[in-house]
Amino acid sequence: MRAVDLGLMAYGAAEALQLAALAEVQAGGEETLFLVEHPRVITLGLRGGRENLRVDAAVLASQGIGLVRTRRGGNITCHFPGQLVAYPIFRVGKRRGGIRRFFSDMEEAVVRTAAHFGVQAGRREGFPGVWTAARPGERTRPRKLCSMGIGVRRGVSYHGLALNVGPDVSLFDFITLCGIAGAAPTSLVLETGPVPAHIDMKEVKDVLAREFRALFAHPALAAGEAAQG
Protein backbone atom coordinates (compact mmCIF):
# COMPACT_ATOMS: atom_id res chain seq x y z
CA MET A 1 0.00 0.00 0.00
CA ARG A 2 1.31 3.42 -0.89
CA ALA A 3 0.09 6.59 0.83
CA VAL A 4 0.01 9.72 -1.33
CA ASP A 5 -0.38 13.20 0.20
CA LEU A 6 -2.21 15.40 -2.32
CA GLY A 7 -2.16 18.53 -0.14
CA LEU A 8 -5.06 20.90 -0.90
CA MET A 9 -6.80 19.82 -4.11
CA ALA A 10 -10.15 20.53 -5.78
CA TYR A 11 -12.70 17.76 -5.34
CA GLY A 12 -13.01 17.05 -9.06
CA ALA A 13 -9.25 16.79 -9.58
CA ALA A 14 -8.93 14.35 -6.68
CA GLU A 15 -11.81 12.29 -8.05
CA ALA A 16 -10.02 12.03 -11.41
CA LEU A 17 -6.92 10.72 -9.62
CA GLN A 18 -9.07 8.20 -7.78
CA LEU A 19 -10.53 6.88 -11.02
CA ALA A 20 -7.10 6.57 -12.61
CA ALA A 21 -5.79 4.69 -9.56
CA LEU A 22 -8.95 2.55 -9.55
CA ALA A 23 -8.15 1.32 -13.06
CA GLU A 24 -4.54 0.63 -12.07
CA VAL A 25 -5.52 -1.42 -9.01
CA GLN A 26 -8.15 -3.33 -11.00
CA ALA A 27 -5.34 -4.22 -13.41
CA GLY A 28 -3.16 -5.53 -10.55
CA GLY A 29 -1.37 -2.34 -9.50
CA GLU A 30 -0.42 -1.29 -5.99
CA GLU A 31 -3.20 -0.30 -3.63
CA THR A 32 -3.21 3.43 -2.88
CA LEU A 33 -4.39 5.61 -0.01
CA PHE A 34 -4.87 9.24 -1.05
CA LEU A 35 -4.76 11.85 1.73
CA VAL A 36 -6.13 15.29 0.85
CA GLU A 37 -7.86 18.46 1.95
CA HIS A 38 -10.49 20.04 -0.30
CA PRO A 39 -11.61 23.65 -0.81
CA ARG A 40 -15.13 24.12 0.55
CA VAL A 41 -17.57 21.77 -1.18
CA ILE A 42 -20.80 19.97 -0.27
CA THR A 43 -21.27 16.50 -1.74
CA LEU A 44 -24.38 14.37 -2.21
CA GLY A 45 -24.29 10.57 -2.07
CA LEU A 46 -26.18 7.78 -3.78
CA ARG A 47 -28.85 7.88 -1.08
CA GLY A 48 -29.70 11.47 -1.95
CA GLY A 49 -28.96 14.39 0.29
CA ARG A 50 -30.34 17.46 -1.43
CA GLU A 51 -33.34 17.30 0.91
CA ASN A 52 -30.84 17.88 3.74
CA LEU A 53 -29.30 20.98 2.17
CA ARG A 54 -30.49 23.95 4.24
CA VAL A 55 -29.77 26.69 1.68
CA ASP A 56 -30.26 27.22 -2.05
CA ALA A 57 -27.45 26.29 -4.40
CA ALA A 58 -27.26 29.99 -5.35
CA VAL A 59 -26.28 30.83 -1.77
CA LEU A 60 -23.46 28.30 -1.91
CA ALA A 61 -22.25 29.62 -5.25
CA SER A 62 -22.22 33.19 -3.95
CA GLN A 63 -19.83 32.08 -1.20
CA GLY A 64 -17.60 30.01 -3.47
CA ILE A 65 -18.85 26.69 -2.08
CA GLY A 66 -19.17 23.83 -4.55
CA LEU A 67 -22.08 21.38 -4.75
CA VAL A 68 -21.31 17.97 -6.27
CA ARG A 69 -23.27 14.77 -6.88
CA THR A 70 -21.02 11.75 -6.25
CA ARG A 71 -21.09 7.98 -6.75
CA ARG A 72 -20.28 7.13 -3.12
CA GLY A 73 -22.67 5.65 -0.61
CA GLY A 74 -24.27 7.69 2.13
CA ASN A 75 -26.12 10.98 2.19
CA ILE A 76 -24.91 14.59 2.32
CA THR A 77 -21.62 15.79 3.76
CA CYS A 78 -19.10 18.57 3.25
CA HIS A 79 -15.36 19.03 2.85
CA PHE A 80 -13.15 22.00 3.71
CA PRO A 81 -9.58 22.93 4.63
CA GLY A 82 -8.86 21.55 8.10
CA GLN A 83 -10.63 18.29 7.34
CA LEU A 84 -8.58 15.24 6.33
CA VAL A 85 -10.14 13.21 3.52
CA ALA A 86 -8.80 9.72 2.88
CA TYR A 87 -9.53 7.76 -0.30
CA PRO A 88 -8.48 4.08 -0.09
CA ILE A 89 -8.23 2.45 -3.52
CA PHE A 90 -8.16 -1.11 -2.18
CA ARG A 91 -9.20 -4.58 -3.35
CA VAL A 92 -12.30 -5.12 -1.24
CA GLY A 93 -13.21 -8.32 -3.04
CA LYS A 94 -9.97 -9.97 -1.87
CA ARG A 95 -10.63 -9.31 1.82
CA ARG A 96 -12.38 -11.70 4.18
CA GLY A 97 -15.61 -10.13 5.39
CA GLY A 98 -16.12 -8.09 2.24
CA ILE A 99 -17.45 -4.54 2.29
CA ARG A 100 -18.87 -4.74 5.81
CA ARG A 101 -15.49 -5.71 7.26
CA PHE A 102 -13.72 -3.14 5.08
CA PHE A 103 -15.98 -0.39 6.42
CA SER A 104 -15.46 -1.54 10.00
CA ASP A 105 -11.70 -1.46 9.57
CA MET A 106 -11.86 2.09 8.21
CA GLU A 107 -13.78 3.10 11.32
CA GLU A 108 -11.19 1.35 13.47
CA ALA A 109 -8.35 3.25 11.78
CA VAL A 110 -10.04 6.54 12.70
CA VAL A 111 -10.79 5.42 16.27
CA ARG A 112 -7.10 4.59 16.76
CA THR A 113 -6.01 7.85 15.16
CA ALA A 114 -8.27 9.82 17.50
CA ALA A 115 -6.87 7.93 20.49
CA HIS A 116 -3.35 8.92 19.46
CA PHE A 117 -4.38 12.56 20.01
CA GLY A 118 -6.14 11.83 23.30
CA VAL A 119 -9.66 11.82 21.86
CA GLN A 120 -12.00 9.01 22.87
CA ALA A 121 -14.17 8.00 19.93
CA GLY A 122 -16.06 4.97 18.68
CA ARG A 123 -18.94 3.59 16.68
CA ARG A 124 -22.62 4.37 17.18
CA GLU A 125 -25.00 1.50 16.50
CA GLY A 126 -26.96 2.07 13.31
CA PHE A 127 -25.03 5.19 12.33
CA PRO A 128 -21.93 4.72 10.15
CA GLY A 129 -18.78 6.73 10.81
CA VAL A 130 -16.97 7.64 14.01
CA TRP A 131 -18.52 9.51 16.94
CA THR A 132 -17.11 10.98 20.13
CA ALA A 133 -18.14 9.72 23.52
CA ALA A 134 -19.97 11.96 25.98
CA ARG A 135 -17.77 13.28 28.74
CA PRO A 136 -18.63 12.41 32.37
CA GLY A 137 -21.72 14.33 33.46
CA GLU A 138 -22.21 15.76 29.96
CA ARG A 139 -25.62 15.91 28.30
CA THR A 140 -25.28 16.82 24.65
CA ARG A 141 -26.23 15.81 21.14
CA PRO A 142 -24.24 13.02 19.47
CA ARG A 143 -21.09 14.50 17.96
CA LYS A 144 -19.78 13.14 14.67
CA LEU A 145 -16.03 13.19 14.19
CA CYS A 146 -15.74 11.35 10.89
CA SER A 147 -18.14 10.68 8.01
CA MET A 148 -17.74 7.75 5.63
CA GLY A 149 -19.06 6.74 2.25
CA ILE A 150 -17.48 4.45 -0.32
CA GLY A 151 -18.06 3.19 -3.83
CA VAL A 152 -16.92 -0.15 -5.27
CA ARG A 153 -16.15 -0.98 -8.90
CA ARG A 154 -15.13 -4.49 -9.94
CA GLY A 155 -14.08 -5.33 -6.40
CA VAL A 156 -12.02 -2.18 -5.79
CA SER A 157 -13.01 0.64 -3.43
CA TYR A 158 -12.90 4.37 -3.96
CA HIS A 159 -14.18 7.44 -2.09
CA GLY A 160 -13.69 6.92 1.65
CA LEU A 161 -13.74 9.00 4.83
CA ALA A 162 -13.63 12.60 6.04
CA LEU A 163 -12.05 13.21 9.46
CA ASN A 164 -12.59 16.67 10.96
CA VAL A 165 -9.31 17.91 12.40
CA GLY A 166 -9.31 21.73 12.78
CA PRO A 167 -11.55 23.94 14.93
CA ASP A 168 -13.75 25.40 12.16
CA VAL A 169 -16.65 23.07 11.29
CA SER A 170 -19.02 25.89 10.34
CA LEU A 171 -19.66 24.58 6.82
CA PHE A 172 -21.85 21.91 8.42
CA ASP A 173 -24.31 24.73 9.27
CA PHE A 174 -25.52 24.52 5.67
CA ILE A 175 -26.61 20.88 5.94
CA THR A 176 -28.31 18.35 8.16
CA LEU A 177 -25.22 16.30 8.93
CA CYS A 178 -25.41 13.05 6.93
CA GLY A 179 -29.20 13.47 7.04
CA ILE A 180 -29.24 12.63 10.78
CA ALA A 181 -31.52 14.95 12.76
CA GLY A 182 -29.90 16.13 15.97
CA ALA A 183 -26.34 15.16 15.06
CA ALA A 184 -23.65 17.78 15.55
CA PRO A 185 -20.18 17.96 13.98
CA THR A 186 -17.00 17.97 16.00
CA SER A 187 -13.27 17.69 15.33
CA LEU A 188 -10.10 16.38 16.89
CA VAL A 189 -9.13 19.89 18.00
CA LEU A 190 -12.56 20.66 19.46
CA GLU A 191 -12.47 17.42 21.46
CA THR A 192 -9.11 18.08 23.12
CA GLY A 193 -10.64 20.09 25.96
CA PRO A 194 -11.94 23.51 27.07
CA VAL A 195 -8.75 25.07 25.71
CA PRO A 196 -8.34 23.36 22.32
CA ALA A 197 -4.88 22.07 21.56
CA HIS A 198 -3.09 22.58 18.27
CA ILE A 199 -3.03 19.44 16.15
CA ASP A 200 -0.75 19.31 13.13
CA MET A 201 -2.47 18.04 9.97
CA LYS A 202 0.71 16.38 8.73
CA GLU A 203 0.91 14.34 11.93
CA VAL A 204 -2.74 13.28 11.55
CA LYS A 205 -2.01 12.13 7.99
CA ASP A 206 1.01 10.14 9.16
CA VAL A 207 -0.90 8.49 12.01
CA LEU A 208 -3.93 7.62 9.87
CA ALA A 209 -1.71 6.14 7.14
CA ARG A 210 0.09 4.09 9.80
CA GLU A 211 -3.20 2.75 11.18
CA PHE A 212 -4.43 1.89 7.68
CA ARG A 213 -1.26 -0.11 7.10
CA ALA A 214 -1.67 -1.89 10.44
CA LEU A 215 -5.26 -2.88 9.68
CA PHE A 216 -5.16 -3.53 5.96
CA ALA A 217 -1.73 -5.14 5.55
CA HIS A 218 -3.14 -8.42 6.94
CA PRO A 219 -6.59 -8.87 5.36
CA ALA A 220 -7.00 -12.33 6.88
CA LEU A 221 -7.21 -10.86 10.38
CA ALA A 222 -10.41 -9.55 11.90
CA ALA A 223 -10.42 -6.00 13.26
CA GLY A 224 -10.42 -7.26 16.83
CA GLU A 225 -7.54 -9.66 16.16
CA ALA A 226 -5.50 -6.91 14.53
CA ALA A 227 -6.15 -4.61 17.49
CA GLN A 228 -4.86 -7.26 19.88
CA GLY A 229 -1.83 -8.05 17.75
Which residues are designated catalytic?
Answer: 178
Q: Which H or E element spans position 224?
A: helix 223-228
Report d(CA 83, CA 39) in Å as an integer: 10
- Specify the pairing of strand 76-79 against strand 41-44: antiparallel
DSSP assignment of 2-35 equals: EEEEEEE--HHHHHHHHHHHHHHHHTT---EEEE
Report d(CA 72, CA 27) in Å as an integer: 21
